[in-house]
Structure 1
Amino acid sequence: MKISRVFTAILSVVVVSTAGIILGSGGASAAPQPTVVLVHGAFADATSWDGVAADLRSRGYEVVTPDNPLRGPSYDSAVIEKTVADIDGPVVLVGHSYGGAVITNVHDPKVQSMVYIAAFAPVEGEPVQITIDPIRFPGSQLLPPALGLKIVDDAHAIGGKNVDGYVTDEYFHSVFAQDVSDETAATMLAHQKSAALWANLELGGLPSWANTPTWYLVAGNDRVIPATAQRFMANRMGATTSELPTSHASLVSQPGAVADVIVAAAHS
């Protein structure tokens, strides 16, 4: 009988202690790590994020790199919204270049923070073309002959045709990505996607950054969106801002540093 009572007492202690551990660990469990959605800009495709995505995945993040149609902020943001809607848990939404105008028009409560990499961040009613106004923000070299135009098939345009812009072959390296190797620039050029001219002229909608924590990484030697324009937009939206002395393609030339900014936003 005495042995039975002792066994019962020990068993009670073990059960209570185990329950305490389980309840305690549940109460102290960390919030789920966000999924990072990387949205590419004009004159690029999702492969432009390869280095950043690999870095983030090595740190344990789930990463999604959707295709950005480059047809205009309202159309493109609807595509990205569908991507975000299919993700369970919190999201860090990242845009490069024109991709910034796209994520600015994405509205989903799962987006916990937003990151702009040398990106447009328009206010409501503002086309992105205004933010590279050569009077206020001189220095962009994305002008003819570096900027080419062509007629493309576009099922979403009136008459099934559209006018797209692209960076011409002979200027792509020097204007878009002057700080990468010749080999890397050639690969980027092979993956270039043209963008509808309308994408630069369409008026922006209500900006999601107005009520979402934001980070901005300025490309100090940018020859597409002048650094002065980037600093203006970052300051206007109250973003946590840092700067690298890179080309417009900082996500390719400095993927680790870009990933660091995204991780900082993920930990906010």
Structure 2
Amino acid sequence: MAGFVLVHGAGDVGWYWHLVEAELRARGHEVVSPDLPCDDDSAGLPEYVDAVVGAVGELRDLVVVAHSFGGLTGPLVCERVGARLLVLTAPMIPVPGEAPNDYWANTRYEEEQSSYEDTVALFYQDVPPELAAEAMRRAPDQSVARMGEPSPLQAWPDVPTRVLLFRDDRVFTPAFLRRVAEERLGIVPDEMDGGHCAALSRPSELADRLEAYAAEQGLVR
């Protein structure tokens, strides 16, 4: 079976994936979902990658799944661990050498973003209230100390890549992600229902998608 490496987004922890992880484990897969050093001012993308690679251990037949800001980490992880597949969910999609701080202007994000003052309304509008509250309780402060550093990404990894958007996402709207995925990767995203944090609102459906992607690569027997 596949080894799933689940990478969370900014200001978050591996707990974000716990329901999807349980679904995948119940189907016989191996899964890791490490915490990244989001609140460490000394940590940048290289340290995020180190944290993920250190968690992989002896896992093989790897599917790297990266959510939101994790899209900046996922491609770098693939280069280090020999991944068989990269899946980006509601992602930021970097280009080589791009600093995280530059992403917003470079992708013309403000042109397609609506304003939501409430964190729940923006990130968790379809997540059960108790899960949304727990997610916010666990969320570390996201350090921005090294966001101006260029990404060490030199080229997109030579690995099959899928982009999955969520139709009700208010952070990276479907129109925005369709455009960016086409401009940067030449990929038409797949789509499923759900808001930005679909791993909490629709874990079974998301696990179905991830397992199906792995099966397409011959990683599910």
TM-score normalised per structure 2: 0.83
Equivalent residue, structure 2, for 1:259: 207
Note the alpha carbon deviations across 1:123-163, whole angstroms, 9 max, x for none.
11213344434845421547xxx5xxxxxxxxxxxxxxxxx
Note the alpha carbon deviations across 1:108-127, whole angstroms, 9 max, x for none.
35310011111112011213
Residues 114 and 209 in structure 1, CA contact (< 8 A), matched pair in contact too: no
Distance in 2 between residues matched to 1:227 and 1:199, nearest whole Å: 29
Equivalent residue, structure 2, for 1:34: 2
**Structure 2: any 5+ residue segments left out of the alignment?**
none
Distance in 2 between residues matched to 1:140 and 1:212, nearest whole Å: 33
After superposition, the Cα gap between the structure-2 partners of 1:225 and 1:35, relative to the gap in structure 1 and judged at 3 Å, is same
Equivalent residue, structure 2, for 1:105: 76
Distance in 2 between residues matched to 1:135 and 1:239, nearest whole Å: 18
Identity %: 30
Residues 123 and 206 in structure 1, CA contact (< 8 A), matched pair in contact too: yes
Give the partner amino acid of 1:79: A
Note the alpha carbon deviations across 1:141-189, whole angstroms, 9 max, x for none.
47xxx5xxxxxxxxxxxxxxxxxxxxxxxx2211111111222211111
Is 1:69 matched with 2:43? no
After superposition, the Cα gap between the structure-2 partners of 1:247 and 1:49, relative to the gap in structure 1 and judged at 3 Å, is same
Is 1:60 matched with 2:28? yes
Q: Comparing both chains, which one has the higher relative contact order based on Cα–Cα distances under 8 Å and sequence gaps of 6 or more?
A: 2
Distance in 2 between residues matched to 1:200 and 1:232, nearest whole Å: 24
Instruction: Tell me by how many angstroms 1:239 deviates.
Output: 4.3
Note the alpha carbon deviations across 1:184-204, whole angstroms, 9 max, x for none.
211111111221124543322
Hey, which of these two has a bigger chunk of strand by percent?
1
Instruction: Tell me the number of residue pairs that the alignment of Structure 1 and Structure 2 aligns.
Output: 208
Equivalent residue, structure 2, for 1:47: 15
Equivalent residue, structure 2, for 1:189: 136
Instruction: Tell me by how many angstroms 1:223 deviates.
Output: 2.3
TM-score normalised per structure 1: 0.70
Instruction: Tell me by how many angstroms 1:37 deviates.
Output: 0.9
Instruction: Tell me by how many angstroms 1:68 deviates.
Output: 1.2
Equivalent residue, structure 2, for 1:6: none
**Structure 1: any 5+ residue segments left out of the alignment?**
1-32, 147-170
Residues 221 and 246 in structure 1, CA contact (< 8 A), matched pair in contact too: yes
Note the alpha carbon deviations across 1:212-243, whole angstroms, 9 max, x for none.
10111112222223333322343232446211
SS at match of 2:80: coil
After superposition, the Cα gap between the structure-2 partners of 1:240 and 1:208, relative to the gap in structure 1 and judged at 3 Å, is farther
Equivalent residue, structure 1, for 2:171: 224
Give the partner amino acid of 1:93: V
Is 1:94 matched with 2:56? no
After superposition, the Cα gap between the structure-2 partners of 1:127 and 1:230, relative to the gap in structure 1 and judged at 3 Å, is farther
Give the partner amino acid of 2:19: G
SS at match of 1:36: strand
2:152 to 193, 198, 205: 205
After superposition, the Cα gap between the structure-2 partners of 1:140 and 1:46, relative to the gap in structure 1 and judged at 3 Å, is farther
